[in-house]
Each structure stands twice: as structure tokens, then as C-alpha cells.
Structure 1
């Protein structure tokens, strides 16, 4: 059973420099994979404004997306459909085509997220869905409760605070982060506390503990 991710760029048609946006996304994806490797297939641009990737499990996928959301600069933002289920490859003259219930679930998840962003959850950036029989429905609901809360916190953080939270997720001390940012340790502490970053960091560590 795999966990697949389909992501798309929010407001891609309004971007002044689409090529720069793609470079920023590619750089953030590479940074996350270098700092916390775990993807079976790293998030890769496909067609238009989409990226797709594959992870061995839901914990790996959600922890990677936490880091990616923290790593992305203010200039670009993505939303993600996460699908759990079996996947396969259909041979074709142009090469293998990714196919299967896991991909269908991810597509359903991102379509659901589009609708919910318009109405009740404008700061949501992630949705989880599972193929029939691939996951306990309660577990899917719990996963979505987690990502809603995480996204709400991350979506209100400044770019600097996201960098600080990223560092804390990977074990950097507040003193180390202060030196990197050229601010005081108390400044780091205040920024993280005001943003509720401790909840994001601790949840990330819990996810990584089951990987």
C-alpha cells in the first residue's frame, strides 16, 4: 500500500514569473529530500502546474509535506491531495503511466480540497483520501483533523518563522537558529511561541517516530 501526492500551484496563472516559481518549488523539494529523505518517488513536476510523488506510508508523506510547507517562500504556495491505496504502472508507447486506486484517491483529495478552500477552510493546503479498504475511515478523518490544524498554523506564519520552525523540526537549537538569522535567541523563542510553532514541531516529531 502506497501513499501518493498530487500537488498544484495556487494561483499559478497569476504568477509574474512562472519559471522562477518552479525553481523555488524544485529547490524546496530538493532541500526537504536532502534533510529528511524518505520518498519512493520525489515530488516531480508533471504537466502544467502539478507535481506528483510517492511515499511508502502516510506518516512519511505528511512529515515531508510539513517540511515542504515550511520550506516554501512567500512567493509560491501549493495545495496537496494525499491518496492512500495500491498503485501500479500501465505500459504505453510513451513509457509507464502511473495508475491505480491510490492515484484516484489523491485526485479525489485535491478536488475536495479545492472546494473546501473556497468555503470553510481557506488556509487548508492538504487533504487525505483513501481507496476503498485501504485505510480505516476513522484514521482518514483523524489525518485530516491533523492537517487542517497544521495548515492553519503554518499558513499564518511569516517566512522567517517558517524557517525557524523548519530548523526546530530537524533538531536545530534556538541558539543555532538565532545565529543563522542574525537575531537573538529570545527573538527566536518569541517568534516560535507567537506562531504556535511548537505544536507543528512536536507533531512532526511524532510522525517521524513511526516512520
Structure 2
């Protein structure tokens, strides 16, 4: 007997403190570029798009793809602004395609997740936590996958939030498959300097973590 196909995963993201941005038009353009970059790299059921204000959302066939999209978008935007993400597994429907209005248990699970991230951000010890995952109410999680993913995300978020701007670019390049030599040329630094940052900042660990999470169904 074949296993049931998993429900899709909804991703809701928003820009942190966007109202305080000095140039909101420039920020919006950067957001659009970051979403386009992620959409080129991650296959989606419904690609990421801006919905209301500086909030954006997309739908993915697998949890791994949604997690990959969240990390890549955060890295692409991080030099300009920080972002937070709520991921929810469950069915979703589109009420208004033009305005990107969705409904359904998956969408509400993602909404609950991003609200929790926002609440955690108010506690200094969790300032780097920017991503949460929830399963829609009524969906089973017999092996505790959601808890394991949540633990991995907390650690990944803290490491990413602790990176310098340059190390963030290096991580983004590594995720795109660039070699350390290619990254050194792009950053105009020596290959040994790249290697030192990869080791000291745990970039190889972050890449391995992202690769493993990407395989989740």
C-alpha cells in the first residue's frame, strides 16, 4: 500500500521593522529582487510573491523546499533588512489570486508560526530566531518531525544571525555551489581567508544542515 502524498507547505515571510526603513521604495525593490532570486533556485507550487505591505508568501510541495526558500531569501535580503518566516503544513486554498489572499489549515498553521517568531523576537535570548514550522491542526506527527525541525531551525537561525555581512555572502555562494576559489575572487580576498571564515563561522556546518533539511518530504 503506497503512502499518502504529504500536504503542501505554506511559507509566509515578512520584513522586520520595515516601517522604520529610511527608503521604503528601495527596500521593496530589494525584496522583489530577493524573491525573484529564490524563485529561480527553488521549485515552488506557487512561487514567492509580495502580498500586503512587506509580507510575502509561497507554497511548496515539500518541507525541504520551503525551508530552502526561507534560508535563501533571508540571506539574499540580510545585507538590507532582516526577515522572519512561518511555515505551515496542510491544505491551502486561494480566495483571491490577484491579491494573494489564501485560506485553509496550512495557511493558518504558517500564520501561527510567524506570530510565534515575532513573539520570541521580543526576548533577548531568542533574538536570532527567525523561522518556525507548524503542522495544521488535526494533522498527525507520529515521529515528532516538527519538533526536530524546530530544534534544527533554532540552531540554524542563531548561526545565520551571528554571521557578518561577508560571511553571509559566502554562505549564499556555497549554497549556490560556488567553490572557495570562486568566492575568493568574487570577494577579492585570498582563498585561505575564505577557508578560515568557512571554518571559524561554521559555514560548512550550515551548508550541510541546509542540504539535509532540503531532503525533507
TM-score normalised over the length of structure 2: 0.89
1:32 shift after superposition: 2.1
3-state SS of paired residue (2:126): coil
Q: Counterpart of 1:203?
A: 209
Gaps of 5+ in 2: 1-6
Q: Secondary structure at the match of 2:147?
A: helix
RMSD: 1.9
Counterpart contact for 1:90–1:98, Cα < 8 Å:
yes
CA–CA distance in structure 1, aligned partners of residues 116 and 85 of structure 2: 10
Q: How far has the Cα of 1:46 moved from its partner?
A: 0.9
What do residues 2-51 of structure 1 show as CA deviations (whole Å, max 9, x unaligned)?
Answer: 101111110111110111111111111212222x2311222211112211
Question: Match for residue 62 of structure 1?
Answer: 67
Q: How much has 1:156 moved relative to structure 2? A: 1.0
Q: Distance in 1 between matches of 2:39 and 2:138?
A: 30
Residue 148 (structure 2) pairs with residue 148 (structure 1): no
Moved more, 110-119 or 64-73: 64-73
CA deviations 1:112-142 (Å, max 9, x no partner) are 1111111241111101111124351611111
1-side partners of 2:209 and 2:11: how far apart? 20
Instruction: Specify the alignment match of 1:71 in structure 2.
Output: 76
**1:108 counterpart residue number:** 112
Greater shift, 94-103 or 40-49, is seen at 94-103
| C-alpha distance 209-111 of structure 1, shift in aligned 2 (>3 A) | closer
| Preserved CA contact (<8 Å) 1:69 1:154 | no
Q: Per-residue deviation at 1:67?
A: 1.6
Match of 1:41 in 2: 46
Match of 1:158 among 136, 158, 164: 164
SS in 2 for 1:124: coil
Structure 1's 91 and 172: CA in aligned 2 closer, same or farther, altered over 3 A? closer
Deviation at 1:95, TM superposition (A): 7.5
User: Paired residues, what number?
Assistant: 209
